[in-house]
Amino acid sequence: MESLARSDRSDPGTHLAARRLELHPFGVMVGPVGHLAEERERLWSLQWSNFDVEPHSATIGAEILGLNLCTQLDDLVVAELREALNAYKVLFFRDQPLTAAQHVAFARRFGELEVHPFLQSNAEFPELVRFEKTSETGGYENGWHSDVTWRECPSLGSVLHAIEVPRSGGDTLFADMGAAYDGLSDELRSELEGSIAVHDYLQAFGHGVPKDQRETMRKQYPQVHHPVVRTHPETGRKSLFVNRFFTTGIVGMEDAAAKALIGRLAREAETVEYQCRFQWQADSVAFWDNRAVQHYASSDYWPHRRVMERATIIGDRPH
């Protein structure tokens, strides 16, 4: 009788459909993330003329097949890649043995490239940030963030090339911050309307600036204000645009309340259903849209060696 009673029990999710439930008292949400369905169906319906696509997850990430980034791509191919970037937010490529010159040339097809003032660069090409991690140089990029939001015009996107990777570990995760915004309650979205965040390079890079240079660097890179919710300039999609690395406050809000709100919004990137994860191989390339995603570089490979180079494309002022 006991086994019969157990078999008669229905699944706890029966009749709940797409409802999300909160597990008290911890505030953990469980259940299907139903608002992703429309975007997932849209992405499945897309067709491409110059390459094949294998989507990675519900609304973010796709592997591009059939292109050689070491060659000079036709303008029509570049235009279609831009469309694919707008759609999938992150594009992945395998087996792309780019030279530094080819890496810079490919990234430059999408806009002007920045030179990062605080990070080591390739000796020949200052446009390439070099991440060379060993037992003597740890990886501290393992927090959710968008690149250079402390600039008046943060980046459009980044093109990261794997030169040397460990046998395991060192994956990069990406989170769809448009899906994160859509998943907020109506009340919180209304509360965020018109909110402006303060971004500052000092929070992440200040420790590396000598004291006698801080005043000069502050004049060159003052605090900047960006909307908490930005609108993508090409798709019109709204997304959350705050992160724990560079966002230091909310204009007009008390410090404690601002930090609590930033932390609350930043946690949305941690929702697994909004993410995709890329396992690197030598000569893999990831091209992500900094206007739409945040990323997290897993630092689980120490003390092994991991060498990557990144070109960053200058974007527009968020609105």
> pTM of the entire structure?
0.92
Question: b vs e for 233-249, b when ≥16 Cβ sit within 10 Å of the residue's Cβ?
Answer: eebebbbbbbbbbbbbb
For 266, residues 6+ apart whose C-beta sits below 8 A from its C-beta are: 144, 242, 243, 244, 247
Domain covering 34-314 assigned CATH 1.10.10.60 in the classification: no
Cα–Cα distance measured from residue 274 to residue 137, given in angstroms and rounded to the nearest whole number? 31
Asked whether the CA dihedral 42, 272, 196, 222 is positive or negative, the reply is negative
User: Cα separations (Å) of 276 from 47, 60, 76, 131?
Assistant: 21, 6, 27, 22
Q: Pick from 91, 89, 96: which is nearest to 162 by CA?
A: 96
The DSSP symbol for 108 reads: H
Residue 119 clears pLDDT 80, i.e. is over it: no
Cα–Cα distance measured from residue 101 to residue 125, given in angstroms and rounded to the nearest whole number? 8
Is residue 274 within 8 Å of residue 175, measured between CB atoms?
yes
* Band of residue 1 on the pLDDT scale cut at 50, 70, 90: very low
Parse the chain into domains and list their residue ranges: 34-314
pLDDT digits 0-9 by tens, 75-105: 999 999 999 999 999 999 999 999 999 999 9
Six-digit token string for 138:
């740890």
Residues classed as catalytic:
145, 147, 295, 310
How remote is the C-alpha of 62 from its chain's centroid? 14
Residue pointed to by tokens 């890329």: 278
Residue 112 clears pLDDT 90, i.e. is over it: yes
Q: Pick from 314, 309, 313: which is nearest to 123 by CA?
A: 309
Is residue 132 within 8 Å of residue 120, measured between CB atoms?
yes
Mean pLDDT, residues 120-139 taken together: 90
Mean pLDDT, residues 42-69 taken together: 97
Residue pointed to by tokens 């608002």: 35
